[in-house]
Chain A
Amino acid sequence: MENSAQTRFRDLLANNEFVLLDGAMGTELQRQGLLPGERPESWNLHQPQKLLVVHRAYLAAGSQIILSNTFGASFHKLGSTALAPEDVIPAGIALAKQAITESASQALAAFDCGPLGELMEPNGSLSFEAAYADFAAQIRLAEAAGADLIVFETMSDLYELKAALLAAYENSHLPVIASMTFETNGRTFGGTDVASFATLATSLHAAALGINCSAGPGALAALARELLTLTPLPVMIKPNAGLPHPQSGLYDLSPDAFANEMLPLAGTGVKLLGGCCGTNNLYIAKLQGILEGEAYSRPPYIAKGRICSATRTLTFGDFPLIVGEKLNPTGKPDLQDALRNNDYAAYARQAAAQENAQADILDVNCGLPGIDEAAAMRSAVLAVQAVCRLPLQIDATRASVIEGALRIYNGKPIINSVSGKQSSLARILPLAKKYGAALLILPLDEAGIPASAAERLQVVRKVVAACDASGIPREDLIVDGLVLTASAEPSGPAVTLETLRLVKAELGLATTLGLSNVSFGLPARRRLNQVFYAQALEAGADMAILNPEHTELVETRYAHAALHGLDPDQRRYLQYFETTEQAGQETLPRTADERDGLRLAILQGLDAEAKSYTMELLRSIPPLQLIQDQLIPALDEVGDRFAKGITFLPQLLQSARAAQLAFDLVRLELRRSAAQGGSEAPDAPVIVLATVEGDIHDIGKNIARTILENYGYRVIDLGKDVAPSTVVQTVVREDCRLLGLSALMTSTLPAMEETIRLVKTQKPDCRIMAGGAVLNRAYALKIGADYYCPDASSGVLSAKEVFR
């Protein structure tokens, strides 16, 4: 499949010599008269001679790989111009190749591909699929035009790089160099660190990794050294000529100074060297001269298992890891509702809460009969990664469900799981290989769960052999000890622990276990779980799937690490126990009348009091009556005080939170009594909320949601940037009588108007309330809204009127 140029590239990477790249393109074109804001790619069509001059100068200086003038040739960047990628990409690559031919050089012509210039979701509005489609189309053009390889460079968002790498893998045969730009604090603008970049890009089939732009060579030395410890792939450095002067824009390193700073980088094991902004052929010539006679060598790479999110990397074996188990709808009505209503706020809440409770990884499961699990998993992963920076563990059986999540997850996740069954191996291993995911192995097969640890080890060996054959690195494998219920299988826990020990000793693989199962059917489950967890840690479990809100488990983890020398100076142990001793909340003087106590707790926004008074009241008052006689009047008073300016927004929301905690207890009681044949909660009226298409500012809508939920309305929150058609489908499906729309920017008001128009034709009995910073009453009514909501509590007034 490889052509001769690709073979030459592989040889360049494999031999014992340095590879010289080229220097800057953009600043060179500016020197030749490119105006600020003018598209450099337009010169591929209109100033080809000037581009040939730049390319030839680099080739004369010794560049072995030159980059085409296509950094900004994406469909997104050129969409608003008269230029088309279909023209400028082939032209750019043809010019690079022409320069090579005319210089009688052996150099390779790389397709240079930069970021799309927009921020990805959730920070911006660019979706993963849209980014993927843009890169895929560019790459197909580049390969057809004869590019020898692809260089993704100056990337600052790991999610965008993931889209680019997948697009390259699925749409071409070209090898890829993946390069990001870091600030001197070791993070990209998007917050990605070197470890997360290395972990993701290594697993997604890049041929070499690099750091470019950023700063001068000296400032990148530490980052380059770090990168060399995190990937077995060859490493590229393409720094700027120092820092630009704020007024003149000129860079402060001379060609000599640049080359002198590059030399130590070459000595640390960097293989590919070139320059970025501010460099030119003189810099490359000096670099070539200084590298002459220097031999390339690199310190040995030590392979370790790693997973990552966009901003956080975890290394197996460094520290015992906690995998939060709570993103699983089994036995959780709020998550089941989330899945049925396509409203993933509950997943986001549960994820953020587990992160706060010291989870390191979150298991995500969306298994619920009667739903589209693949779509649900995709939405859940997007919702979770929008609020939480922990690496994820994708927990599903069907390949299509897992694959959808592996694609759109912003990082390198764990697949939960593969077993020794042939059908499972055939289904899961190709996914782990293609998406570079870590893989959790269950030691069971067609014959069932082996009774002994030795037999489980046999199954693991079989799976490992299959992984070896599929090219999945051993360091990415995690073996589950398989926890059986102690009450049903008294020898089970000992077998699980022995399995962990055997796997560690015989195969040296990472290990995990699902903790809670052990205590099923026994009293004092939490105590049993805690002891078993300590035993598992002792047996060498690298991670465990558990409920991190059971703080005794988190404490056990920190204590184990502190006692086992996994926590130098007990730093994390001390930090954990210091921060958990939180400042106490204010308290109310205890009142004899619980009703007044609850009212005051809500008015003052005191969470603990609101809960304790509610629990006391529930002993004597039926839940529905408590809502009608206590909670609603207290909330009305809260709203009234806000409307009169006695309180302001944060106070309103503190009250709302206290009331919500009270409501949650009442709902629990309702469910309990309904289960025992008592009164059921009446169906709450449905309110659909959405921030309109094109608008990604949703804090106002979220405030409205908080207050509406307080009053017991069932809110279906469609999120932000919601297409009019989605809104219409939902209000029709839910037979919804009140819709709330929000828009913050003037530029998105037409989308609001269009949404209202569609709803009015398809669901005429649905009233519409509209709010948002740029709206006023006159305009809201003009575009067809029934109610205008100027502040946080006005939505409730509309709701009361509609559901009178």
Chain B
Amino acid sequence: MTTAKLTQLNKQEVLRYLGYREQALSLQLEEQIDRSISLALELAHPRSVYRRFKRNGAETPPAEELLLGCDIQEHLADSEEMILLAATVGSDLDHEIRRQQSLNMSFAVILDAAASTAIEAYLDLLEDQMRADFLQEGLYLTSRFSPGYGDLPLTIQGDLLRILDSHRKIGLAVGAGGLMNPIKSVSCIMGLSRQGFGKTKDPCEICSNRDNCGLRRRGGYCGKFRSNEIS
């Protein structure tokens, strides 16, 4: 639980989720995007929960068992502690996106992009705040690493969320196949270290979608890793 508050969303981010490439925007479309942003801010109920574990501490085993694959081990290589974090903007936005699909598909798609922007913006706020808090203790925070990035399997999702008791604490659950509900939610692992870190790795380097990625071809970057499972 933290106090990070979501008060604005970046319109360029919403457009980026929509695959925007500098096309001319009609006033009608501009108005819809603005409306989607205010609606997303109104319906988002950002909530988060995190827990901190000493690596190799007494409470560590269940958390340490999540660290499957090489990529997360490398991500946490210099960390003496790790953080499990889960956050969601709640199911009101899921409902409204579903409702809009019955009314106006174009607006539904725009609202979906605004909702994605909202959860990412909330995570960024949260991360900034945590980074500042930990720095007061002389600790540095790594970037976020989520199940499904690199070779960290989605199958750990259930255990990660259960350790956080996320269903009870923030209403975030995992359904069949490791999908999170509400949809606009994020879970991740971060490292904490006294030494600080060198340059963090470019996420595109371990992303399976790097050759397919339209964003990357256009010089963009989504900030997310994609799983290697299907290649």
**Residues of A in contact with B (beta carbons under 8 Å apart):** 35-38, 80, 114-115, 117-119, 122-126, 154, 156, 181, 188-191, 213, 243-244, 246-247, 249, 345, 348-349, 351-353, 355-356, 386-389, 583, 585-586, 604-606, 645-651, 653-654, 656-657, 694-697, 699, 702-703, 706, 745-749, 774-776, 779
B97, B101, B110, B230, most chain A CB atoms within 10 A: B101
**With contacts A35-B59, A189-B171, A654-B29 known, what are 5 further pairs, Cβ within 8 A?**
A117-B167, A119-B182, A355-B99, A387-B102, A695-B177
Q: A191 to chain B: which residues have CB within 8 Å?
A: 91-92, 95
**Residues of B in contact with A (beta carbons under 8 Å apart):** 1-2, 18-21, 23, 26-29, 31-32, 47, 50-53, 59, 61-63, 90-92, 94-95, 97-99, 101-106, 108-110, 112, 148, 154-155, 158-159, 162-163, 167-168, 170-171, 173-179, 181-183, 212, 226-227, 229-231
Q: B97 to chain A: which residues have CB within 8 Å?
A: 699
Q: A776 to chain B: which residues have CB within 8 Å?
A: 212, 230
User: Please, how many angstroms separate the alpha-carbon atoms of A511 and B231 in the complex?
Assistant: 63
Q: B227 to chain A: which residues have CB within 8 Å?
A: 746, 774
Q: B92 to chain A: which residues have CB within 8 Å?
A: 191
A156, A387, A647, A694, most chain B CB atoms within 10 A: A387
Closest chain B residue, CB of each to CB of A248: B52
How distant is A86 from chain B, measured CB to nearest CB, in Å?
21
User: Please, how many angstroms separate the alpha-carbon atoms of A551 and B78 in the complex?
Assistant: 66
Q: Known contacts A645-B21, A747-B154: does B177 contact A657 (CB below 8 Å)? A: no
Q: Known contacts A387-B98, A604-B26: does B177 contact A702 (CB below 8 Å)? A: no
B108 adjacent to A190 (CB under 8 Å): no
Q: Known contacts A80-B158, A387-B102, A706-B105: does B23 contact A124 (CB below 8 Å)? A: no
Q: B91 to chain A: which residues have CB within 8 Å?
A: 119, 123, 189-191
B106 adjacent to A654 (CB under 8 Å): yes
Interface residue from B23, B101, B183, B230 paired with A647 (Cβ < 8 Å): B23
Interface of A is mostly: loop
User: Please, how many angstroms separate the alpha-carbon atoms of A126 and B176 in the complex?
Assistant: 9
Q: A645 to chain B: which residues have CB within 8 Å?
A: 21, 23
Q: A38 to chain B: which residues have CB within 8 Å?
A: 62
Q: A653 to chain B: which residues have CB within 8 Å?
A: 105-106, 109
Q: List 30 A-B contacts (CB under 8 A).
A: A36-B53, A36-B63, A36-B163, A37-B63, A115-B167, A124-B173, A126-B175, A154-B168, A156-B171, A189-B47, A190-B171, A353-B102, A387-B98, A387-B99, A586-B26, A586-B28, A604-B26, A605-B26, A605-B28, A645-B23, A654-B28, A654-B29, A696-B181, A699-B112, A746-B148, A746-B230, A747-B154, A747-B178, A749-B230, A776-B212
Q: B175 to chain A: which residues have CB within 8 Å?
A: 118-119, 124-126, 696
How distant is A707 from chain B, measured CB to nearest CB, in Å?
9
A651 adjacent to B104 (CB under 8 Å): no
Q: Known contacts A119-B175, A387-B98: does B106 contact A648 (CB below 8 Å)? A: no
Q: A35 to chain B: which residues have CB within 8 Å?
A: 59, 61-62
Interface residue from A126, A190, A388 paired with B99 (Cβ < 8 Å): A388
Q: A697 to chain B: which residues have CB within 8 Å?
A: 179, 183
B103 adjacent to A117 (CB under 8 Å): no
B99 adjacent to A37 (CB under 8 Å): no
B176 adjacent to A125 (CB under 8 Å): yes
